[in-house]
Structure 1
Amino acid sequence: MGNDFFLNKNPHFQYFSFIKNKHEKSCLSFGFREKDFTFVNEFLTNKINKKMKKLSILFLSVLTLGLASVSCSSDDDNSGSIEGKWAPVKMGSVVNGQEVLVNIPNEGKCDSDYIEYTSGGKFTELEYEFQNNKCTPLTDKGTWTLKDKILSTTYDGETEVNTVEIMELNKSSLKVKYTEKIDDTNSMIIITLFERK
């Protein structure tokens, strides 16, 4: 098997490639200043290149695919259960202390990607890849735990535990935060909003 096989199965590589490819054209129209976008683009490109060289299998759950803000409604009480199917709907980054939201585009009119958490501590992640006018489902499975608003996941066959902080969880939405350390003094916060399917 060639390097492409391992890269395509590397969730960390997939995550950064996904953000870079999906939002290269649309970030400026959603409030990113050009220098902010250039920084994020360079950061993501460097991450991809590092992962390609190392071929390490690192994970960032589909949970970390975006930014979100949700309406203030009566069900925003953080009393929901994480069990169920969740579809990512918004993604982005924190720029100058503000969440910058972008919708996740649906390429090729494929069904929406989702992650499903079951009561037995298992999860199934389904992502659609659109190529040659065809939607191809890609599935990964693993285990999860939730303690003190920290969601930990591990893909089957892997040993690395990946964590995100739950910022909000209610009947209809799940909002999580991941902080990626860039260097000794800088980090990038990635916030994801999911809606229950």
Structure 2
Amino acid sequence: MLPAIVILASGSGSNLQSIIDNVSTRRIRASIAAVISDNPDAYALQRAHCAGIGTAVVNRSDYPSRNEWESALSDKVYQFRPALVVLAGFMRVLSGRFVDRFEKRIMNIHPSLLPAHRGLDTHRRAIEAGDSIHGATVHFVTPELDDGPIIIQSPVRIEPGDSAETLAKRVLEREHVIYPEAIRQFVEGLISFDDPACR
């Protein structure tokens, strides 16, 4: 039986699509059990539907408090008994309680070379900082924002005249390569949260 992956996404789902493509070609030997979103209008849900993957929406506005929303999200994810939870453009910060429930098996991708430029608006910040190299990082998730053991990083050179938009496009192309690769390594048992190679 293939290991189950649950993917959380809030937006267009381009990283989700790259994962779907790699699963469909069996490069990633796993099954996508569900795509769950906090946004009922997320195009990621349509991508999942087109691939025959089940979806669910756990909308923050349907719950009186953040804690109740996150509990519902956590319970929905847990229903699928995932070997791995993948954050693919999921735009909510998850609490330590959620992270602990799926300890050492939540993965995220961040558009910078961590630990540089945690948080949002990374491309503009990298340009304004005068960086010559930017990039993307796949890492395991801990309760701290954009922290946790790093799995893969891919550098992207900042070219003269780059805008945040042009840089973001090139970084996203790298994300579509390294995220499926990190997932492949995890489901094949080549890496783990406690692996010394994940620093």
Structure 1 length as normaliser, TM-score?
A: 0.25
| Larger helix proportion of the pair | 2
| Larger strand proportion of the pair | 1
Structure 2 length as normaliser, TM-score?
A: 0.25
